[in-house]
Structure 1
Amino acid sequence: MVWISRVCFRKYGNFVDNIRLYVRGGSGGMGLPRLGGHGGNGGDVLVVAKKDITLKQIKDKHPSKRFAAGAGSNSSIQALRGANGEDTQVFAPVGISVTTDNGRILGELNCEGDRLLVAKGGRGGTLHSGFLPSKGQNRHIRLDLKLIADFGLVGFPNAGKSSLLTALSHAKPRIANYPFTTLRPEIGKVMYDDHNQVSVADLPGLIEGAHMNKGMGHKFLKHVERTKQLMFVVDISGFQLASKTPVRSAFETVVLLTKELELYKEELLGKPAILVINKMDLPEAQGHLRELEAHLENQEESSRLFPKDVIPKSLMHFTHIIPVSATTGLGLPLLKSLIRQSLEEQDAIETEGQRHERLLKLRREIPKPTIPNWGFPQPT
C-alpha cells in the first residue's frame, strides 16, 4: 500500500530558496598598556545546519537579515584578560551552499550540526598591536538551497505537470488549460508503507530560449539543478506555446527540452531521468505513442530531422519510460513504484562509489614498506 501526503509552501507564503544576509564579527577589546593586559577577542558568526527550519522562517524571524557577534571586553585592572565576545549562530536548513556576493563558495552544510564560519571576530589588543584591537570581518553572504526535491518535473507549459503532481499527491495546485499556471515550485510527497517518502517538485514551465532567461528562464533552470533526478513530462499529442508558434511533436519536445538543459548547464544531462508520457487518455494517443517509441529507439537518426542548432550534443537516456494519464490514473501505480526504484538504484551506485573512494584514499595513506639494503643491488 502507498499513501500520499502533501507538503505545500503556501502556508509559509512564497517559496524561498535563497536569502542574502549581512554578517559581522565582533570587534576585539582594548588592551591595557599599563599592565600589559590583553583585550578579549570578538565573537564569530557561524551558520549551523538544523532540521525543521526553512529559509522563509529565517527571513520572517530576522527581517533586517543582519547578524552581528558580540564584541570582546576591554582589559582592565580587575580582568587583565578581557572576556571574548559571544558567537552568533545562524540556524539554516540542511543542504545549503554558502557563497559570498561575488559567487565565491565558502562551504556547504550537508548534515545536521554542520557549522561554517562566515565572519571572524577581531582580535583583542595586545602588546604586539600597541594594545589596539581589530575590527571583526563583515560581508554579505548568500544561503542557497542545494536540493529542493528528489525529483523535478521538467516540461513545457501545459504538459500536465501540475495535474500529475495532483494525481501523485492528492494536492490541489493551481491547474488550468493555459501555459504558465505554475509560477513557483510546488512540492508533493509520496509516502510508502515503510515510512519512506519521495519529494516531487512541480517547477515553472520551461520554454524555448530559457537558457537565455526567456520566460521563467534561469529561475526554472536553477531549480532543476536542485533535484536529485529529473522527470520529463511530455504531452503525447505534442506542444504548441501559442497559435503563432510551431506545433512540436512529443519526440521533438524531448529533444528541445534536452537542448535547453544542455545550453544552460551541460552537467544537468548527467542526472538520472525518467520520461513520463502524459495524456494517454486523449484520442489517437496510442498511435502517437508508437511513433514516439520508434523515435526513442533510434534517437540519433530521428534527431537529424531537426535543424542542427536544436540537436543536443548528447541525447537523454531515460532509466524508465512510462505512459500515464494524470486524469484517469492510467500507469500511476507503476510510476510511483519506478520513482522509488530509480532513487534506490542511484543511492546504491553512489554508496558503492563512496566506498571505492574511501578504499583508494586508505591505500594512498598506507605508507609503502621500506626495503632494507643488505648490500645486494636494488631493483630498478
Structure 2
Amino acid sequence: MVWMSRVVYRKYGNFVDNLRLYVKGGSGGMGLPRLGGQGGKGGDVWVVTKEAVTLKKVKDKHPQKRILAGAGVNSSVRALKGDKGEDQLIFAPPGIVVTSDDQKVLGELNGVGEKVLVARGGHGGTFHTGYLPSRGQARHIRLDLKLIADVGLVGFPNAGKSSLLTKLSHAKPHIASYPFTTLRPELGKIVYPDYRQISMADLPGLIEGAHVNKGMGHKFLKHVERTRQLVFVVDVCGFQLSPKTPFRSAFETVQLLIKELELYNEELLSKPALLVVNKMDLTDTELKLKELLGQLQDPEGFYHTLPKDMVPRHSVTFKDVLPVSAATGLGVEELKTCIRHTLEQEAAMESKELCRERLQALRVAAQPPKLRDPPVCADTLGLTRNSTS
C-alpha cells in the first residue's frame, strides 16, 4: 500500500499545471555626458508559447525560478548609442494564462507563437535623465495552464471516462478499477473518416466539494473552463466514492455534477452538454436507464428526493442522452457522430451571430449623421432685428 502511494505521488508530481516565477527586466545602460551618448535599453522578459513544451520542462529549465534579462550596453566613444540588452524568452505550452501576484491578467496565450511582455527593461541614460539609466521592471508572475480542448469529459471517479477516451480516440490513459486512476488531464484526438479531428480531454475525477477545492478541486475545474463542449459521464448503476460516503444514484450523480460546476462558475452551465450513461453492459441496466430518462424529463419534480445542498439553482438541458458501454463499444460510434454534430451546430450558430453583429456595425457606420438645426449667429440676429425695425 505504501509502495502504491509512492508511485501515485511520483506520477502526479510529474504533471505541473501552475508555476510561479520571478522575472526582472534588464537595467538600462549608462549615457556618456561628455559626448551626449545614450545608453542602451535593458532587455525584456517575454512568455512565448511553443509546441512540445510543458510547465514541468519550464520548471526544470529554471530551477531557481528566476529569469533575468540582460542589461543595456553603456554608451561609449565608439558607440554613442549603446546596444539593447538581451531579451529572455520563457517558452510555455499553449493554453496558458499569465497573471501577476495581485491577480491581474497579463495575457492569455492560446495559440503557438503568441507572446506577452511580463517584465519591461529599463531605459538607457540620456540627457533628460542626467545620463543615468533606470532599472528594469521586477515582479512575480504565475503561469496557469488551463487545458484547451473541444470536448471535456466530466464525471466522478470510476465513471469510465478513461475507458471511453480510449474507445473514442488513440489516447492510452491508465485504466484501473480504483478511484482517482486519472491524476492528470489526458488528451486524445477523435479522427473521423474524412480526417476531421476533434480534441477530447479526460479530466481528473472530481468529488463532492470540489468547488471549495476538496480533492483535486480547482485543479480539475479550471480545465473545464477551456473546453467548448461538456460530456457528462455517469455510471448507470450509481456512484459511491468509499464506504464512508453516501451512495448516489445516476440521477443524483448528474445533479451533483451540475451543482459542483454551478458553485465554481455558473458560466460553465451555458456550454453545450451531452450526457453519456456508461456501463450499459451490466445487468438490469435497461430499467435503470428508463428510470433516469424519466427523471431527466422533469428534474424539478424529483428535487424533493435530493438533499437541499445538492439541488442546483439552474438545470441543464442536455442536447442528447446516449447510453454506451466503454467496455463493449456499445453506442460509441453514435457518440462520436453526436459530438461532431453538436460542435458543428454550435460553430454555425456562433458564425451566424458574428455575421449579424458585423452587419449591424456596417449599417450603423453607413448611416448619415443626423441633421441638426444650424447654429444661429448673434450678429445675424442683430441684423435681423435692425432690418425689422
Tell me the TM-score normalized by structure 2. 0.86
Radius of gyration: which is bigger? 2
CA deviations on 1:204-244 (whole Å, 9 max, x unpaired) are 22211121222222222122223222111111111122224
CA deviations on 1:62-103 (whole Å, 9 max, x unpaired) are 444433222111112222222222323333333322111221
Distance in 2 (alpha carbons) for counterparts of 1:244 and 1:195: 47
Q: Decide which moves more: 186-195 or 25-34.
A: 186-195
Matching of residues 154-193 of structure 1 within 5 Å: 154-169=154-169, 171-193=171-193
**Kept after mapping to 1: 8 A contact 2:12/2:183:** no
Distance in 1 (alpha carbons) for counterparts of 2:192 and 2:282: 30
* Residue matched to 2:379: none
**Kept after mapping to 2: 8 A contact 1:23/1:141:** yes
Offset of 1:261 from its aligned partner?
1.0
CA deviations on 1:125-174 (whole Å, 9 max, x unpaired) are 11221211001111121222333322221111121122212222354433
Give the counterpart letter for 1:287 in structure 2.
L
* Residue matched to 1:299: 299
Residue 21 (str. 1) matches residue 14 (str. 2): no
* Residue matched to 1:210: 210
Distance in 2 (alpha carbons) for counterparts of 1:260 and 1:375: 62
Distance in 2 (alpha carbons) for counterparts of 1:366 and 1:12: 58
Consecutive unaligned residues of structure 2, counting only runs of 5 or more, are 1-9, 377-389
How many equivalent residue pairs? 367
Matching of residues 104-143 of structure 1 within 5 Å: 104-143=104-143
Distance in 2 (alpha carbons) for counterparts of 1:244 and 1:52: 42
**Kept after mapping to 2: 8 A contact 1:29/1:133:** yes
Measured at CA, do residues 243 and 312 of structure 1 come closer, stay the same or move farther in structure 2, by a change above 3 Å? same
* Residue matched to 2:381: none
Measured at CA, do residues 370 and 355 of structure 1 come closer, stay the same or move farther in structure 2, by a change above 3 Å? same
Residue 319 (str. 1) matches residue 331 (str. 2): no
Measured at CA, do residues 81 and 112 of structure 1 come closer, stay the same or move farther in structure 2, by a change above 3 Å? same
Matching of residues 3-82 of structure 1 within 5 Å: 14-82=14-82
* Residue matched to 1:254: 254
Offset of 1:363 from its aligned partner?
4.9
Offset of 1:332 from its aligned partner?
0.5
- Give me the identity figure in percent: 65
Measured at CA, do residues 171 and 98 of structure 1 come closer, stay the same or move farther in structure 2, by a change above 3 Å? closer
Distance in 1 (alpha carbons) for counterparts of 2:334 and 2:315: 25
For the aligned residue pairs, the C-alpha RMSD in angstroms reads: 2.6
* Residue matched to 1:96: 96
**Kept after mapping to 1: 8 A contact 2:279/2:326:** yes
Distance in 2 (alpha carbons) for counterparts of 1:58 and 1:334: 40
Distance in 1 (alpha carbons) for counterparts of 2:276 and 2:184: 21
Q: Decide which moves more: 173-182 or 261-270.
A: 173-182
Measured at CA, do residues 246 and 95 of structure 1 come closer, stay the same or move farther in structure 2, by a change above 3 Å? closer
* Residue matched to 2:309: 309
Distance in 1 (alpha carbons) for counterparts of 2:375 and 2:192: 70
**Kept after mapping to 2: 8 A contact 1:152/1:202:** yes
Measured at CA, do residues 184 and 66 of structure 1 come closer, stay the same or move farther in structure 2, by a change above 3 Å? same
Distance in 2 (alpha carbons) for counterparts of 1:375 and 1:106: 48
Greater helix content: 2
Distance in 1 (alpha carbons) for counterparts of 2:355 and 2:89: 34
Consecutive unaligned residues of structure 1, counting only runs of 5 or more, are 1-9
- Secondary structure of 1:174 counterpart: coil
Measured at CA, do residues 193 and 250 of structure 1 come closer, stay the same or move farther in structure 2, by a change above 3 Å? same
* Residue matched to 1:338: 338
Distance in 2 (alpha carbons) for counterparts of 1:311 and 1:330: 32
* Residue matched to 1:5: none
Distance in 1 (alpha carbons) for counterparts of 2:59 and 2:18: 10
Distance in 2 (alpha carbons) for counterparts of 1:147 and 1:121: 31
Q: Decide which moves more: 316-325 or 104-113.
A: 104-113
Give the counterpart letter for 1:165 in structure 2.
L
Q: Decide which moves more: 115-124 or 222-231.
A: 222-231
Distance in 1 (alpha carbons) for counterparts of 2:175 and 2:12: 20
Give the counterpart letter for 1:93 in structure 2.
P
Q: Which has the higher contact order (CA 8 A, sep 6+)?
A: 1
Offset of 1:355 from its aligned partner?
2.9
* Residue matched to 2:384: none
Offset of 1:176 from its aligned partner?
2.4
**Kept after mapping to 2: 8 A contact 1:255/1:303:** no
Distance in 1 (alpha carbons) for counterparts of 2:96 and 2:351: 21
Give the counterpart letter for 2:154 in structure 1.
V
Measured at CA, do residues 145 and 245 of structure 1 come closer, stay the same or move farther in structure 2, by a change above 3 Å? closer
Distance in 2 (alpha carbons) for counterparts of 1:351 and 1:150: 16
